[in-house]
Amino acid sequence: MGQFDEKVAIVTGSGGGIGQAYAEALAREGAAVVVADINVEGADRVAAGILAEGGTAIAVEVDVSDPNSAKAMADRALSEFGGIDYLVNNAAIFGGMKLDFLVTVDWDYYKRFMSVNLDGALACTRAVYRKMAKRGGGAIINQSSTAAWLYANYYGLAKVGINGLTQQLSRELGGMNIRINAIAPGPIDTEANRTTTPQEMVADIVKNIPLSRMGQPEDLVGMCLFLLSDQAAWITGQIFNVDGGQIIRS
């Protein structure tokens, strides 16, 4: 028996990295998981792994920046599993991200980036909230980052937006018994991080982390499960740092 038996969870960007860790953990706790990603091969691999371990999962292709694609994802969850209880908005452009300044980044690239990293969370929320409400409520997690409190060009700006979106939506969704919170990871050791962030930059960041190491995807799983669970039934509109002590904020 798991704490999420008979629950249905969608995890976007779960074809690898942090999203994969979330999807696998939810499946271990009994949830039927929609492994949603624009990377179909990755989504298929993660869903197959969950099935091999005795869990329940399907792989669904989604472009979170496209409201029609987000709606199709939600409709597939409904047709396969009968409803939606949880949404984890984890999808983002990060691996291979251009390292550039806000004042010089190519405008079309910037708009595409923000359409995924910020607007995508709203598009997916809009696609699922009515279905959650029909089940009596639900819970949503947005993936933020400690970049929201540091200089991190347009990546940081997108995460500031995610935090604001989380707070604003908590007011709109609370009356439907839908909770929404955000997790703000510090630097996490994923393939995307290793291939995007210069390692000398990573080393400098780690020097200033009180717990003196990078995080692992598994370090975020406990917060994800807690925020989706009934233990967090009176928590909404909050941003939780999981960062080894990197950020102190009031």
The catalytic site residues sit at 155
Nearest-10 crossing angle of helices 153-173, 107-117: 40
Contact 115, 64 (CB under 8 A): no
DSSP H or E segment with residue 158: helix 153-173
**Residues 24, 28, 31, 35, Cα dihedral to 10°:** 20
Q: In the chain, how many H helices and how many E strands?
A: 9, 7
Residue 241 structure tokens: 């740092």
Euclidean distance between CA atoms 111 and 204, whole angstroms: 30
Nearby residues of 14 by Cβ (< 8 Å), 6 or more positions away: 20, 22, 23, 33, 35, 36, 37, 43, 46, 88, 90
Whose CA is closest to 25, among 187, 227, 179, 177?
227
Sequence-distant (≥ 6) Cβ neighbours of residue 54 within 8 angstroms: none
